[in-house]
Chain A
Amino acid sequence: MGRNIPVRLVVVILLLGVICFFYYRYGLSPQLVQLGDLRDQATTADAKLSTLREVQGLHDAFVRQNESYSVWIDQLAQITPVVFDQHEHTRFLLDLQAVGKASGITYTSIQISDASMGQGAAAAQPAEVKLAKTVGVTMNFTAKNYATMRQFQDTFRTKFKYVMVSSNLTISHGTLGLPGESNPYTCSMTAWMVLSPDATIVGAPAPVAPVPQPDVVQ
């Protein structure tokens, strides 16, 4: 009898250990995981609810702020268009002609490279120009003198309705006129009209997802 008690004790302890293990593994642990998940969700929901109550308290202010945002976005869209379709294309061309006329230069040709007029694809921008969406513009023009040419450059960069980035400018100055005569300049300029990041160019092909590189076995 004296030898049986320790054996029973050991068996009982082992049995309790096994019971506790299975209870924790399959009973309590899933409950704790579920509880933790529920508490996380409740915390998130609590924060969301308090935010919404705050919004509810400031409802009118939020409405006014959204209206201000919309007005501001419309204003930004004037200088970086959101859509570049044929309407925007022609509007831009007219604006370009107007700024040239106001500056006193004479265009000899203007080419707007985009997909909206069936010119294939939107013009590719140089690698250095890290802008999401642009439309290429090439202008050839003459200026009656150096001051006019400079004035157009300044106006085009700082006062034109759209945000433009020049990428190339060629200025040719031919025969010098006699004293008192004007010295005409012939210029060619390539520039980029900047579009809004989410702008769509009508007719442009959809971007192609990059093809994953195949693994190369060394």
Chain B
Amino acid sequence: MITINLVPNARRRRQTQLTHEDRTLIFIVLAVLVVLAASYGYARWIVAQETNHLADLNVQIAALDSEQKLLDLNRALAQRSMAMETNIVTAVQLQVNTNQLLDDLAKDLPKVCTLTQTDITVLPGTVVLSASSSQFVDLVRFFNALSADTKFKDVHIDGYQIPYGTGAVVQGLQAQATMNLTLTWVGGGKNG
């Protein structure tokens, strides 16, 4: 049988013969597309599963709301008591035993001397003293003892007064020599 194609050459459909390589390429492309589609579908399915699992967990958590409130209250109370305890510890550490300071001063004070005024600024431990004695040399001994004492530093004489009798006999308080000192207490520590 003879087949006669009457369509003009320009409009004649190109009839190409698919080679083995072409078919292989098409197969590979289709296979890759199928794999991609399958992996996408699998990912969507996993996401959906995980979403359902999460929703289920949230439902169970919501059912235990009263326990959640109990736990929240427990944590809040624990936190608050901890903050208060920390505050107390800090405060106690800042407390200074001023009697210990007076004892330290008394150890250096000659018996014939009298402390007439003591001003203690606890932080940073600054002490301003006024001492009196009938003999100035005793006040000097006091100053020397304080200077040598490791519990004190920056011992400094702010001023002193020595009464000198001129004619009339000076007695009583008028006869007292006085000395004003400034020093810093370092040896007593805290809560001593």
What residues make up the interface of A, taking CB atoms closer than 8 Å to B?
A: 1, 5, 8-9, 12, 15-16, 19-20, 23, 27-28, 31-32, 34-35, 38-39, 41-42, 45-46, 48-49, 51-53, 55-56, 59, 62-63, 65-66, 69-70, 72-73, 76-77, 79-80, 126, 128-132, 150, 153-154, 157, 163-176, 194, 196-198
Using Cβ atoms and an 8 Å threshold, which residues of chain B touch A173? Answer: 114-117
Closest-CB distance, B85 to chain A (whole angstroms): 7
Contact B81 A76, beta carbon cutoff 8 Å: yes
Min CB gap B13→A, angstroms: 19
Does B1 make an interface contact (CB < 8 A)? no
Q: How distant is A141 from chain B, measured CB to nearest CB, in Å?
A: 14
Please classify the interface of chain A as helix (H, G, I), strand (E, B), loop, or mixed, using the class held by over half of its residues: helix
Given contacts A131-B87, A165-B91, A168-B122, 5 further A-B pairs with CB under 8 A are A8-B25, A12-B25, A16-B29, A55-B64, A163-B92
Which residue of the partner chain A has the closest CB to B64? A52
Q: How large is the interface on B (under 10, 10 to 19, 20 to 34, 35 or more residues)?
A: 35 or more
Contact B123 A28 (CB under 8 A): no
Identity of the chain A residue whose Cβ is nearest the Cβ of B117 in the assembled complex: A172
Shortest Cβ distance from B106 into A: residue:
A146
- Interface segment out of the listed B50-58, B153-161, B163-171: B50-58
What separation, in Å, do the CA atoms of A63 and B25 have in the docked complex? 72
* Cβ–Cβ contact B71 & A5, under 8 A: no
B73 at the interface (CB under 8 A from A): yes
Which residue of chain B is the closest to A126 with respect to CB atoms?
B123
